[in-house]
Amino acid sequence: MTTQLTTVDPAPARATAPRRGRRINFKDFGILGGLLAIVVFLSLATNTFLTGQNIVNLLDQAAVIGLLAVGATLCIVSGVFDLSASATLAVSAIAGVFLTQKLGVVPGFIGALLVGAALGTVTGTMIVITKVNSFIGSLAMSIIYRGLAIVLTGGMILAVAPDQLEAFRFWALPAVGGLTGGTLLFIIVAIVLGFVLWGTTYGRRIYAVGGNEEAARLSGVRTPLIHISVFAINGVCAAAAGMVLASRAGSAQPSLGTGMELTAIAAVVIGGTSILGGAGAVWRTVVGVIILTVIGNGFNLLHWDTTYQQVVTGVLIFVAVAADAWLSRSSRRGRA
């Protein structure tokens, strides 16, 4: 027994994680090169792509998926998936609208974030306690939360009072330099979580848990708390995304954001975050979100059939996953 324990060196778990998160590799250049190629093509093919108004619209369109994607990045890097994000979004938005009706716009937004954090914590705790696969466990929680949203609203749309609407729509209206409040919120969240993942001890522990959970545990990292915390953070991001959506409509409903968690995960994967965990970066996820948004914008500007947009997105996801698998196999062969 003593021999088995002494063969585990905790140092690599601490040292490897930041290097994997910080080193510049093929994925960095690949994702930026892909975005540049799309931008150059659309700039030459249209006269409106690089206009200021279109850029502002692009960033606004990216805000909701971006908020979901940066939260999902922390989950995937730590080795788990959260398919309950869009349902958390809906419940949080409903709670936010209800609290806005009763207490005002600011308490409503804060309340929505707290509800999102609570739902994310419940999801993470249930998965950690039961030890079920996070993919299946979060899917089950998603169904529960959607049902809860229907129970809370009776399946109806919940809207803010007319005299609250202008203030409530802050996240949908231009705030600074033509950028909407939702866009600014996305930028701030991406910067904060990017720094947390890249430059803090907590971030290095996320990488360590995703790279080798057992080695991280033996190194003293409390892996259950790491997993619960990333689910909680993802819940807060989902709640923020829900309030941006609710702000645009002035209301919330149980079906709000259905399926958006899959688009967010697609952006994370296209951005080069490994689905195996232990590698990835928030900035690359942001690039992945922008790529998906630019592709959709390009289809509209070029008047192409948007049916093929799903085909293009699917191809990008498959290529990203295949590249990740190939790079992982090459890395293992290199170490061997």
pLDDT range class, residue 62, cuts 50, 70, 90: very high
pLDDT of 213-268, one tens digit each? 888 888 888 989 999 999 999 999 999 999 999 999 999 999 998 989 999 998 99
Q: Which ranges of 83-180 would DSSP assign to H, the alpha helix?
A: 85-103, 105-130, 134-153, 165-168
Residue 116 in this model has a pLDDT that exceeds 60: yes
Residue 216 pLDDT: 87
pLDDT range class, residue 22, cuts 50, 70, 90: very low
Q: Do the Cβ atoms of 134 and 82 come closer than 8 Å? A: yes
Backbone angles phi, psi at 112, to 5 degrees: -65, -40
Residue 6 in this model has a pLDDT that exceeds 80: no
Residue 20 in this model has a pLDDT that exceeds 50: no
Residue 336 in this model has a pLDDT that exceeds 60: no
Residue 330 pLDDT: 65
Residue 206 pLDDT: 94
Residue 176's DSSP bridge partners are 179
CA 264, CA 145: separation in Å to the nearest integer? 19
pTM of the model: 0.85
Domain boundaries, the chain: 49-328
Residue 158's DSSP bridge partners are 252
CATH topology of domain 49-328: ABC transporter involved in vitamin B12 uptake, BtuC (1.10.3470)
